[in-house]
Structure 1
Amino acid sequence: MFFALSKVLGFFALPSNLMISIGLVGALALFAGWVRLGGALLVISVLTLAVLGLSPLGNILLLVLEDRFPKPAENDNRPVAGIVVLGGSFDTIVAGARGEVALNESAERLTVIAELAKRYPEARIVFSGGQGTLFYSGATEAQVAARMFESFGIAPERITLEDRSRNTRENAVFSRDLVNPGAGERWLLVTSAYHMPRSVGCFRAAGFPVDAFPVDYRTRGYEDMTRPFRSVGEGLRRVDIAVREWVGLFVYRITGYTDALVPAPL
């Protein structure tokens, strides 16, 4: 029930969906004869979509999160017991229907594993991701990841698949239960840079200490704080990603799923 409710509320938490919904209500109000109300709602919808889509707001909101956890130095040779990579890189609906490895814009979460598996040849590789959609069924992310890891040439005995999780908290809890990390072991956590604060917070709260290995950066740096977008669609996509992550941070903190509002390196 909580999962379904979170998906429904999450739909309206995205600025693009919310503004379109307001515009539709405005159009219905016009048809119903409520001209002033309908006109006001339509103006609010269009102007807000334009500002959000063309301004650098999405970049500003993401930069704070992306720069929270630095990537380990190239010369960091400390031993690694395992690498946990979070789901979110596959279009499981298309993958299930087509029988293909259908990657999305977060693909770097997966492709970096080929490099890390060679850099740390003794490390276990744990993929955490089930089926996180509400209305459509398809393959689990773990099923698709297994095929991709095989194409990387990673030995099957190194791979552990966690296929039940539907959100970041479940990623942390189910991965901890599956691998039972030992005291003093170093585990890397691979996910998108903007998603790293919430992810690390969940793993800490679950009693699974991890070192951040952020990937999939969406911004170049602070120079993007003044860079407008070339299209409304591109800007809205960036704002949606950022707002969804900030809302997730607030909700996870309130529910106790993370150890801080915006977790930071210890």
Structure 2
Amino acid sequence: MPGMDTAWLVTNLIAGLLLPPLNLLLLAAAGFWLARRRPRLGRGLMLAAFAGLWLLATPWVGDRLLAALQTPYQPIRGDEAEAIVILGGGSDPAPEYGGDRPSQATLERLRYGAHLARQTGKPLLVTGGAPKGGRPEAGIMAEALAADFGLPGAWVEGRSRNTRENAEYSAELLEKAGIRRIYLVSQAWHLPRAVPVFERAGLTVVPAGTGYAGLELSTPLDFLPDIRGLKNSYIALHEAIGLVWYRIRN
């Protein structure tokens, strides 16, 4: 796609190789290739790939992996910070709206950010660029805040390509306004990676998580694989790899 950031593409290709389902499919392929020459090892690898895919695709496992990462909920009083920063989480094509719209994850963040803005009266900053090309996420988010929630975005940061740049460029904008303390809105499982990055950018951060994973066992179906379970496992492992990578770089 024209305008796609090469570094973002390479990073996500590498991540794809390390994450389910591709990593398990590659393991199964290796087992199949070895099955003739080393039958026991080949069958063991294929069985491990099948078992791993089954487990990671169950909602019971996926929810627990996410819950292990997420920042504990803490009530917001309204006097802990001076502004609300909402992190972008992607956008999707929406021809019925005449262009791109916030993804489900981004809309979840916007909804909670709008709730906090009404509760606290603090101004909003939306942050997110366009690593895949097209329009920056921040502009799409600002439009959604105005159209869907009736709230203006005081600051729109559309240059960033990742969480680290979200923090750096947002801090630049906030510093000009004399703001150092923020509520940081994102999914609860993303905040353990995002909060330290924003703190290293010189900001005092109050985590404002949304989208908490539940641990209640609703039905025996939670032990059967489905797309929600695999998605949650993918997100959790992606975040775990991101946490390790950010710590290595710092």
Q: Deviations over 1:100-156 (max 9, x none)?
A: 4243245210112322222233x22111111233xxx3332112112101212224x
Equivalences for 1:177-192 in 2 at 5 Å? Answer: 177-180=172-175, 185-192=180-187
CA contact (8 A) 2:102 2:137 kept: no
* Change over 3 Å in CA distance of 1:79–1:200 after alignment to 2: closer
Q: 1:65 aligns with which of 69, 79, 84?
A: 69
The answer on 1:242 being equivalent to 2:245 is: no
Residue equivalent to 1:82: 83
Shift of 1:33: 6.2
User: Structure 1 residue runs of 4+, over 6 Å off?
Assistant: 181-184
Residue equivalent to 2:54: 50
Shift of 1:190: 0.3
The secondary structure found in structure 2 opposite 1:127 is strand
TM-score (ref. length: structure 1) = 0.78
d(CA) in 2 for partners of 1:110 and 1:182?
Answer: 22
Shift of 1:207: 1.3
- The one-letter code of the counterpart of 1:20 is L
* Alignment RMSD: 3.0
Residue equivalent to 2:245: 251
Q: Deviations over 1:221-264 (max 9, x none)?
A: 4x45x9844433322211111111111111101101xxxxxxxx
TM-score (ref. length: structure 2) = 0.82
The answer on 1:127 being equivalent to 2:126 is: yes
The answer on 1:149 being equivalent to 2:145 is: yes
Q: How many residues align?
A: 241
Identity of aligned residues (%): 31
d(CA) in 1 for partners of 2:184 and 2:198?
Answer: 9
* Change over 3 Å in CA distance of 1:95–1:34 after alignment to 2: farther
Residue equivalent to 1:174: 169
Moved more, 137-146 or 82-91: 137-146
Structure 2 residues without counterparts, runs of 5 or longer = 1-5
* Change over 3 Å in CA distance of 1:181–1:71 after alignment to 2: farther
CA contact (8 A) 2:80 2:206 kept: no
CA contact (8 A) 1:96 1:138 kept: no
* Change over 3 Å in CA distance of 1:85–1:13 after alignment to 2: same
